[in-house]
Structure 1
Amino acid sequence: MATVAELKAVLKDTLEKKGVLGHLKARIRAEVFNALDDDREPRPSLSHENLLINELIREYLEFNKYKYTASVLIAAHCILRLLGSSSSPASASRVPGTTESGQPVVPLDRQFLIHELNAFEESKDNTI
């Protein structure tokens, strides 16, 4: 019969091989930060510059396959507000399809980013 330690090791190995363990760790981190966050203090509105910076960070993370880190950045804070819902004061400032920070859930269009940053795209590897 297998010991508890052996079962833990097999479970951990299986979750790592399936790529689930990293996702679970990222999700737990996001939820811990969310629980520690003070919703009573309103966040400042997201400026245009910060929106672009956040989007560049998201693109960098996704380009380098740091998808779990990117998921913490965008962190499941997508709250689709029900009309008339006033269950929390923070929900009043959230817009459907945006994250807690105001960042859109759907990434900004790459051509829009290139235009806004006055950048150019190298066609051989799709880098800005």
Structure 2
Amino acid sequence: MATTVTELKCAVRETLETRGVLGQLKARIRAEVFKALEEDKQPPRPPQLSHENLLINELIREYLEFNQYKSSVSVFTAESGQPEVPLGRHFVANELNVAEDVSSKSVPLLYGLVSHFANSVDGGRKVFLRGSSTAPTDT
């Protein structure tokens, strides 16, 4: 029995969906289209990111990579102006004064930070946050 082109397309689509490849391909295509459309429109990035932005962006990049959001990482790195080469987990942990144990090293630093604050037993007190050096000032 001859297989029609339509049946072949359906079989290929089902196989790609089952393997999880179709979603990845769609995400990659969206990322590439976004980059192509935004390439000419993007305002120039600041020449240097603030220290806080570098650290925050690195936490986000590590989270995205851990969750295998490859297209998101690509777009995020391009848009944010984050260096292509990661700063490194050890460097970021040192900058944030984070001490890690063996189990915490298996997940992104962001998970540990959120877990720390969400499970903090400080008598129900709120954490006082200071403004960043990148926050706009009222003049």
TM-score bracket relative to the smaller structure: 0.5 to 0.7
Aligned residue in 2 for 1:79: none
Q: Secondary structure at the match of 1:121?
A: coil
Q: How many positions carry a matched residue from both structures?
A: 104
Bigger relative contact order, structure 1 or 2, given CA contacts below 8 A and separation 6+?
2
Give the drift of 1:9: 2.2
Please say which structure displays the higher CA radius of gyration.
2
Q: Tell whether 2:121 aligns with 1:120.
A: no
Deviation at 1:112, TM superposition (A): 0.1
Q: Post-superposition shift, 1:117?
A: 1.4
Q: State the partner residue of 1:23.
A: 24
In the other structure, the counterpart of 1:10 is 11
Alignment check: 8 A CA contact 1:27 1:72 kept: no
- CA–CA distance in 2 between the matches of 1:110 and 1:2? 52
Mapped to 2, the partners of 1:11 and 1:35 lie a distance apart of 28
Does residue 48 of structure 2 align to residue 42 of structure 1?
Answer: no
Q: C-alpha displacement at 1:7, in angstroms?
A: 2.3
What per-residue deviation string (whole Å, max 9, x for no partner) do you get for residues 62-100 of structure 1?
2233344334433xxxxxxxxxxxxxxxxxxxxxxxx46
Evaluate the alpha carbon distance shift between residue 100 and residue 17 of structure 1 in structure 2; reply closer, same or farther with a 3 A threshold: same
What is the distance in 2 between the residues matched to 1:72 and 1:16? 24
Distance (Å, rounded) in 2 between the aligned partners of 1:3 and 1:68? 34
How far off its partner does 1:107 sit? 2.0
With over 3 angstroms needed to count, the CA separation of the structure-2 counterparts of 1:18 and 1:27, relative to structure 1, is same
In structure 2, distance between residues paired with 1:52 and 1:4: 51
State the 1:23 CA deviation: 3.1
Structure-1-length-normalised TM-score: 0.62
TM-score, scaled to structure 2? 0.58
Distance 1:125 1:35 in 2: 38
Q: Which runs of 5+ in 1 are unaligned?
A: 75-98
Give the deviation of 1:52 after TM superposition: 1.5
Give the structure with the larger helix fraction: 2
Q: Which residue of 2 aligns with 1:111?
A: 90
Residue 66 of structure 1: aligned partner: 69
* 2:102 counterpart SS class: coil
Output the aligned Cα RMSD.
2.6
Partner of 2:134: none
